[in-house]
Structure 1
């Protein structure tokens, strides 16, 4: 294998087959690597066919930077750390971008932007909008804070007279994010606001309306004062500006009521996330330099990096599982010596990546200079990168983290979520922190400290004093020599990279150690085993998929990994393993939060972690977990209750034994699975021939040529049951306020047996308004097609097949065809994520590998995406 890259290109199949062998037959890992991380040019030509080539590409570039400094690492030494994703794993942007001369992209995963002073003028708001888009097109996830935008109703010096508040601008930023795609990757955005802002309640509620702010994660910044007021049920003062001694507006609210709204919304929709802002600022080392431009204002989209405006961070993880000697045995032990050495090397590599990023920024700026647009058009983008370069060079911030925490704990014979496991994990993260900072001090001696280092500024920082107590010599050396990096550590989600390490992700426990998949089979083939036949007659075989490290546990304990086990036998195996009661959905949730808080004390940035809860938990538990997270010292917390987000399928759970042989056996189940989501289930309602008098209804608006139309989608148990469409705001159509998105369709039966369908909704004052006779509002031709579609919906034709049916209608009228496209779009939002678009080929790679994802078609082969 050559150690240097070449200009030879490979087909997708060549790269996939080589990667498949590299990953030991793991198809998903191979496909993800080829699609996301193998070097490609803008035409899609693939220049690497193996992760080994990728690792040499990275190692050679790191070694080139190392040669600028004393005691350089060789390319071979770096490669040995990277090889087979065993020890050190750069995050996606560095892995893709280092040494990639075919695309001009940043190596940073995370950015935060923001303006000082008057940041709520239209000019400032549009400026931020442009900056976030310019960063997203270079692969960056972006966060920014909205606390500086004046609240709704505030006076403004323009023709509007008063401000519209936060929510319209949340929509603007969200929509901009959805417009940006880079190599099949959507933009990622975090919007935050202080709980002290008078519009924070509107911010908290913004995503509760379906279809709103779909391109952003949202988090609310909670102060200690607010948290204590909520617990004590005391009033809380909101004001604007939020930190002004002489605010232009202020109001007093019930902290308890606002807190309960946060809890309710998180329980219902998994958002907003919460950021414990005083903890973040109190613990932040960069905020010791706040007056020099390092004041933290928001976080990246996953929340693991709180940042100041125009700073960025590159990420890297260590694979904790690889440091367990004799895993899953009674004499398993953690190699702290090897881990300590590798942490110091990883921090060194991270600092090299800062240099590589500064080179990339120069290339980006040079490209902007060469672009044919006028200087007036280019100046915002160019100045943006000037600010990022200055901040990155001044602080040299890094993000060394971990992955495989869940597998490490299991391999040590411990159970995730116990005190023993937490204590061990804390000892590992303490070792990580001390050695990363030791490495940064050593580099300060060899390469120089970051430009604004000042030991006195950091003297009272809680994190620095923790290091001082644990290692007094390290602290003295740091005061004397400085430190190379303003902050060093984080714990990111590591979603797709953990597929290639074939381990659990980040700090999380295993999602499921064993799960089922289905593959289509020909029932006429010999020796075929048919487990399931779907609605259209296709036959499927079910097969068991094991988490890779669960297989290692089986092998270590002499259990046959080739045998076909019954479900009862699988349950028994899981119960014997260290993964029992330690999965995402059944871990001790309070202990998980406490573990996060304990580890947070040794992470200078933050931790991205999600507390997964079963669907049936109540809001009181969410409340308890959030309060515990605050008290435990977490910097943020995200709760996800199973099934709480529209379009997200419900995870398979073990049914009550009594129910398994009754109703559950009568229901048809569709299983869809991936390494990221594991086994999921959609239980469709029984075919219902008697229509209930009332149905819940979603309102979906669309364009029919230049006319505005509206679709009423009647839902039975959340599944589309019927559809009505009609003109909006027409004398013969339907006059409906734009704010209406939900209601009920009520079937009225006259004495002569005829039926009428009415739509009923609540107005802003809580009064019910009825639109009578939906069928009478339509052109007869549209009405007949709507009856046809409703008919197949009522007999439970799968939604993707209904969409295919609608698309196949041969209609002569151009306006009818436009209407047909609108109906397709209205129905697509109800297709379960992961459903294959049968018979449709990807327009990019030509493969029949399209699946529905959030109403869009995503190609699982090449990553292409299209909506509409």
Structure 2
């Protein structure tokens, strides 16, 4: 073993290593005293926590673990993560051997095992997560992080096939990107069933829903990217779908923008929303989502609507400003720059957006840790060492293509035809601090051009050398390859690269991708991806717990300079202007043949107009995509600079609301409300009649009568509050127990003073009254039976998460409360995958067939219309107006 740079990982770094990347022992029952383990210390499905510790005692299946912090945990062996590897050195040995094993001879294998080991040492090269976890540890685990699968065929069978492919990939830990543009728009005719389509966005909801199930059934959430092209008639629904609570909650969204669309935005031109003629004889066989190919083949196109391009653009900007979604990918420009332009067009990106891919394309990622390439003696980049590491890394990633198992024949055929790899970087911000260059400054842009141009040059020369030895990728055509937008720029700056490619060929269609490296960068202890540091002290919420983090390079400076302020080259994401972020992205994009995961952080007071200018600047500078994050625009952040309550308590505002609800619960008496909600069920009526007839009542001092069978409310009851989305907005349902059984319910829905608020409060009071009468045990079952499934004018959610009404939400909350755990979702994934897909599809098809489409311009929580009774009363132009029947309180 190479022990040159052994360093014990500590804190969150060690937890991440043991949890995600170290070689696991599949049987935790083999745990013994003295073993280093990862132990679950907080078994919360949403916000769990784990700690590293050592087993100090074992009796049967029970173990005692002493954690690094000194805490003693008594638990079951099944709640341990037991690893074969305990140190990074062991992992580096495994990875070097695995990647060298595909070389042609024992001599080459030995040579490259040593070379790979030298760049893995001390984290100079940090392999992508799937490579780190799987290479040499399993012959079944894929070494690819993310996939793009072809756009769904526009048929029931086609959508089911896509759903099945997505499920299989996610079940193995891969993320998936899907472009929905192949699916016919809402209300388009479906001849086979003599009906109309529910639209591309509704089927995106199916993919999102299934991703949520995979999140619940496994230890990691499924990752999904959904995209739609700018010509699709459902684009406005797609842009605003997340503004309707409960729809498409488990996917990232991006819009594919063309050059023509951007030109129309700048000139305030009309924009046509179109779709192929679905009645065409060749539609079922030839339509694959590529509108240009369809038109070129003489396919007929149906015009749906003409809008101003600026109208669409402004809606995208407003939505991005509100919630950081959708992102924008300049897809036509992406394909102009792409080296695979002539044989394999890019149709979508992976979930993080840094890797644009064709159908059946994959992410094959690793990152150079730039912080390790600083030469203290010269106070400059260690250019020679960086060149060597870059060249070895390209071969390392190329070998992954031959080493990984393939679970889909199409993935293998595509990847071995183009041999796409994605070498990126982490530690850029740390390197720049060492060089005393302020991130985002004019000096930094010059440095970035030099640095990333150097890496690109070395990468392409390395790939050409491998092609000379092993052969170019099969789809290589020198003339066409060198005509890509990227290669034109490369050859202009580095003529030797063009000469090498013509003489030797090239091994990989693309070589460079700037991925986010969030987990691996945190594990290594450096800045992630190409981003500046988020902060020099921050808190990180993950499936491992809530951890406080200090940036070592900043802490070291502070320790050496007590009482002094950090120099200005210590810069964080929020210190920079949004324009600084975009100009940095553009400088690096020049030398990245794929794309970049980069977020432009914006202050809370950043306006919609500021957002427009930023996105248009990104297009003008040659960025392939844009994602912004406006501070405070989302409820939950993975990283935060202030220590708040543990995230299991949700956000501060929600916590405050829950406290108010609890306070209200203590104050409310058991007397019935003047505004009663009538409950169905002869049982309730009969019970009350029997009680009165039996005259088992006693007078109270205020002359009210209370039955002897009625259980008086103690001063203190304990329970839980459930947050559930309903057609009327978010409901907070508090269920308190008496003698271990639900005894009262309090509801908080809608705005105070609204009819919805009043009816919800009345429902809670009547439910509480019912629960505390007579035989306590069977009342919960009766209440669930009679409330469950009560429907109103609309519903929200799908499948088991579908909520028909506030009454239905109460029933579901009661079920969850008494069962204490959700078992169904995990068991689903032990069933036959084909049966699961069929079940999900049928379930979802019933949903979209039984409910009307929700408007894209939902106003969130709505009140009851006194005319039609639907939950559709909204504030419009200063008046309470019904969006369903047109009723207005002002008319």
Give your verdict on TM over 0.5. Answer: yes
What's 1:31 paired with?
15
What's 1:356 paired with?
403
Three-state SS of the structure 2 residue aligned to 1:441 is helix
2:437 to 414, 425, 428: 414
1:106 to 142, 166, 171: 142
What's 1:80 paired with?
118
Gaps (5+ residues) in structure 1?
Answer: 4-20, 365-384, 519-541, 561-568, 654-668, 692-703, 726-740, 748-756, 761-771, 787-808, 830-839, 844-868
Does 2:766 align with 1:780?
yes
Does 2:154 align with 1:162?
no
Does 2:270 align with 1:284?
no
Does 2:166 align with 1:132?
yes
Give the direction of change, closer, same or farther, for the CA distance of 1:56–1:70 in structure 2 (3 Å limit). closer
What's 1:623 paired with?
612
Distance, in Å, in 2 between the alignment partners of 1:577 and 1:296 is: 40
Contact 1:782 1:816 in 2 (8 A): no
2:466 to 435, 440, 443: 443
Q: Deviations over 1:464-519 (max 9, x none)?
A: 1122122222211211210011111100000100012200100100010134799x
Give the direction of change, closer, same or farther, for the CA distance of 1:813–1:151 in structure 2 (3 Å limit). closer
What's 1:744 paired with?
750
Q: How does 1:296-375 map to 2 (within 5 A)?
A: 296-326=346-376, 332-357=379-404, 360-361=405-406, 364=407
1:670 to 613, 631, 644: 644
Gaps (5+ residues) in structure 2?
Answer: 29-81, 277-290, 665-679, 682-720, 737-746, 788-806, 824-891
What's 1:262 paired with?
316
Contact 1:23 1:29 in 2 (8 A): no
Three-state SS of the structure 1 residue aligned to 2:573 is coil
2:561 to 559, 574, 578: 559
What's 1:578 paired with?
569
Pairwise CA distance, 1:550: 1.3
Pairwise CA distance, 1:746: 3.7
Contact 1:711 1:823 in 2 (8 A): no
Q: RMSD between aligned alpha carbons?
A: 3.9
Three-state SS of the structure 2 residue aligned to 1:213 is coil
What's 1:863 paired with?
none
1:178 to 194, 198, 212: 212
Does 2:85 align with 1:51?
no
Distance, in Å, in 1 between the alignment partners of 2:733 and 2:349 is: 43
Q: Deviations over 1:263-299 (max 9, x none)?
A: 111111111010011210110001122xxxx121111
What's 2:129 paired with?
92
Contact 1:287 1:295 in 2 (8 A): yes
Distance, in Å, in 1 between the alignment partners of 2:387 and 2:370 is: 12
Contact 1:136 1:188 in 2 (8 A): yes
Contact 1:88 1:319 in 2 (8 A): yes
Give the direction of change, closer, same or farther, for the CA distance of 1:713–1:406 in structure 2 (3 Å limit). same
What's 2:35 paired with?
none
Pairwise CA distance, 1:775: 4.0
Q: What's the TM-score, normalizing by structure 2?
A: 0.67
Q: What's the TM-score, normalizing by structure 1?
A: 0.68
Does 2:510 align with 1:487?
yes
2:597 to 608, 612, 615: 608
Give the direction of change, closer, same or farther, for the CA distance of 1:611–1:160 in structure 2 (3 Å limit). farther
Three-state SS of the structure 1 residue aligned to 2:458 is helix
What's 1:814 paired with?
781
Q: Which has the larger radius of gyration?
A: 2
Distance, in Å, in 1 between the alignment partners of 2:244 and 2:420 is: 38
Give the direction of change, closer, same or farther, for the CA distance of 1:505–1:781 in structure 2 (3 Å limit). same
Q: How does 1:114-263 map to 2 (within 5 A)?
A: 114=150, 119-181=153-215, 184-241=219-276, 242-243=291-292, 244-245=294-295, 246-263=300-317
What's 2:717 paired with?
none
Pairwise CA distance, 1:115: 5.1
Q: How does 1:587-736 map to 2 (within 5 A)?
A: 587-648=576-637, 651-652=640-641, 670-671=644-645
Q: Deviations over 1:787-834 (max 9, x none)?
A: xxxxxxxxxxxxxxxxxxxxxx999633558999966986999xxxxx
Q: Deviations over 1:71-99 (max 9, x none)?
A: 663423222211231x1010000111100
Distance, in Å, in 2 between the alignment partners of 1:406 and 1:169 is: 41
Higher relative contact order (CA 8 A, sep 6+): 2
Q: Deviations over 1:744-766 (max 9, x none)?
A: 3343xxxxxxxxx6218xxxxxx
Pairwise CA distance, 1:348: 0.9
Pairwise CA distance, 1:644: 1.6
Q: Deviations over 1:124-153 (max 9, x none)?
A: 111111111111122211111111111111
Contact 2:349 2:355 in 1 (8 A): yes
What's 1:547 paired with?
551
Q: Deviations over 1:603-631 (max 9, x none)?
A: 00000111122223221221121111111
Distance, in Å, in 2 between the alignment partners of 1:28 and 1:608 is: 23
Three-state SS of the structure 1 residue aligned to 2:351 is coil
What's 1:457 paired with?
480
Give the direction of change, closer, same or farther, for the CA distance of 1:620–1:69 in structure 2 (3 Å limit). farther
Contact 1:724 1:775 in 2 (8 A): no
Give the direction of change, closer, same or farther, for the CA distance of 1:286–1:544 in structure 2 (3 Å limit). closer
Distance, in Å, in 2 between the alignment partners of 1:842 and 1:156 is: 38
Distance, in Å, in 2 between the alignment partners of 1:281 and 1:828 is: 51
Contact 2:723 2:731 in 1 (8 A): no
Pairwise CA distance, 1:595: 1.4
Three-state SS of the structure 2 residue aligned to 1:185 is coil
Contact 1:811 1:817 in 2 (8 A): no
Contact 2:96 2:114 in 1 (8 A): yes
Give the direction of change, closer, same or farther, for the CA distance of 1:543–1:825 in structure 2 (3 Å limit). same
Distance, in Å, in 1 between the alignment partners of 2:495 and 2:311 is: 46
What's 1:513 paired with?
536
Distance, in Å, in 2 between the alignment partners of 1:719 and 1:126 is: 32
Give the direction of change, closer, same or farther, for the CA distance of 1:99–1:159 in structure 2 (3 Å limit). same
Three-state SS of the structure 1 residue aligned to 2:614 is helix
1:386 to 402, 406, 409: 409
Distance, in Å, in 1 between the alignment partners of 2:555 and 2:85 is: 30
Give the direction of change, closer, same or farther, for the CA distance of 1:825–1:483 in structure 2 (3 Å limit). farther
Distance, in Å, in 1 between the alignment partners of 2:589 and 2:607 is: 27
Give the direction of change, closer, same or farther, for the CA distance of 1:217–1:825 in structure 2 (3 Å limit). farther
Give the direction of change, closer, same or farther, for the CA distance of 1:268–1:742 in structure 2 (3 Å limit). farther
Pairwise CA distance, 1:776: 4.1
Distance, in Å, in 2 between the alignment partners of 1:783 and 1:192 is: 50
Q: Deviations over 1:684-741 (max 9, x none)?
A: 65987999xxxxxxxxxxxx99xxxx999899xx99888699xxxxxxxxxxxxxxx9
Pairwise CA distance, 1:681: 7.5
